[in-house]
Chains A and B, each alone.
Chain A
Amino acid sequence: MSTVRTSLAHAARAWVLLAVSAGVAHAGPWAGIPLDDLPKLELRALTLDQQESRWQAATAAGFVRVATFDDEAAAIVAFDREVEMAAAVPLPAVVVAGADDARGDPSELLVLRSRNVVLVVRDRAGGATAVAQRVLAALVETAPAGVYREKAVGERVLEWDKVGRLTVR
């Protein structure tokens, strides 16, 4: 485990350095990915999670799962849990440009974190890294205004904003 942590730390540091050198310093948390942009990202069949700020959409050969957390610390914890739960085999650390943490297999299964966002990318056609980078590049810091969807469940109202963040009223 310590080896993995070290690799991750190296990867994260490498990305931070890369970003800073490119003049794109890390800022605040991501808002998420605008759901209206999913078709442009070749994502379809959206499932808005009713339990937390998470959504899943289909790709041509798999799916993308995106969870948004309040801050980076929560996302780091969630990333570790996702690595443990997303698959029945251990997922090794890998480096994916644009991600702060990444575990899995660059071709078919990746669990990634970028700031406060955790993603799972499954691509049975071997294009997981390409899909991941396409999705990571779509992250925005400011969500488009408005409600994406609303659903009444009993006396509660579930409301997703336009990046899929869930509010329960």
Chain B
Amino acid sequence: MAKATFDENRCKGCELCVSVCPKKIVVMAEDRINEKGYHPATVEDMDKCIGCAFCAMMCPDVVIEVEK
């Protein structure tokens, strides 16, 4: 049981978190834009999250917190 929380309004849509997720569950939310005007990164299938925190370690803007 693990959970990644995204501070969506801080996201700049660089997609580096998407590129490092071993479970391929981090996606860009195509249905909404944030305060900065980007599609923010998010996880829709959180049950598959293993809490490795790779997304958070790769994020240049410290958008993501991970619990496990």
Partners in one complex: no
Chain B residues engaging chain A, CB cutoff 8 angstroms: none
